[in-house]
Amino acid sequence: MSHIIAPSILSANFLALEKDIKMVNDSQAGWLHVDIMDGVFVPNISFGMNIVKQIKKVSTKPLDVHLMIVNPDKYLEEFKRAGANILSVHYEACNHLHRTLDGIRNLDMKTGVAINPHTPISVLEDIISETDVVCMMSVNPGFGGQSFIENTYQKIEQLKELIYKRGSSTAIEVDGGVNIGNYEKLLACGADVLVAGNAVFSAENPAQMINKLSEPVLNYTTV
């Protein structure tokens, strides 16, 4: 399976949001990544369901909605109505993760579980077959433009091994600090989806950057 680039709208120009979304529409991006922050689970506030609804009216790409909020179960139906296609909740925010994933699946959305950089891969052992996507945070969540955490490479390899052992088809998504300098190594380690925010929207030619990150990696070795 070829990998997916999911530009993060959090890094877009909010005064020209429609223009930036249409740029993503015309690019080789596979998904559009939408970060929802509540100022409680993470120390930042982004936007809510109404903005997601407006994004959905313009975007032709599936909306990959990442909930960085407390009590995500309260809002599953609202994000479905807003237009989410993939809905990721944080392991750290869910007391009953199986139930939450069932709720997402029953609303006909792809299920996602996000984990913070300090959270070990082992916590996913009991739910890896229940989720379509694991969103691995490679920065501390809350703000765009942060530096990539190098231990992410090892965690991707550990997660890939767990997926293989369980015979799961779960995709590995990496979110935070993805750029032209590390995307090849991330893919070689086993990543399937790369969330790119600052690398795309601060580029001189964002569409060209998306297309570059979308290119297949040939003969790359992590050794």
Q: How many CB atoms lie within 10 A of CB 161?
A: 12
Q: Tell me: pLDDT of 219 over 90.
A: no
The active-site residue out of 38, 64, 132, 175 is 175
User: Does 148 fall in a domain?
Assistant: yes
User: Does 181 fall in a domain?
Assistant: yes
User: Does 222 fall in a domain?
Assistant: no
User: Does 218 fall in a domain?
Assistant: no
The active-site residue out of 20, 35, 38, 64 is 35
| 116-171 pLDDT, tens digit each | 999 999 999 999 999 999 999 999 887 666 789 999 999 999 999 999 999 999 99
Among this protein's residues, is 35 annotated catalytic? yes
Quick check: 97 and 67 in contact, CB under 8 A?
Answer: no
Task: Specify the pTM.
Answer: 0.95
> Quick one: average pLDDT of 204-222?
86
CATH code, 88: 3.20.20.70
Residues of the domain holding 65: 4-213
| 33-71 pLDDT, tens digit each | 999 999 999 999 999 999 999 999 999 999 999 999 999
| 71-115 pLDDT, tens digit each | 999 999 999 999 999 999 999 999 999 999 999 999 999 999 999
User: Does 25 fall in a domain?
Assistant: yes
Domains in the chain, number: 1
User: Does 223 fall in a domain?
Assistant: no
Helix axes 206-213, 17-25, angle to 10 degrees: 40
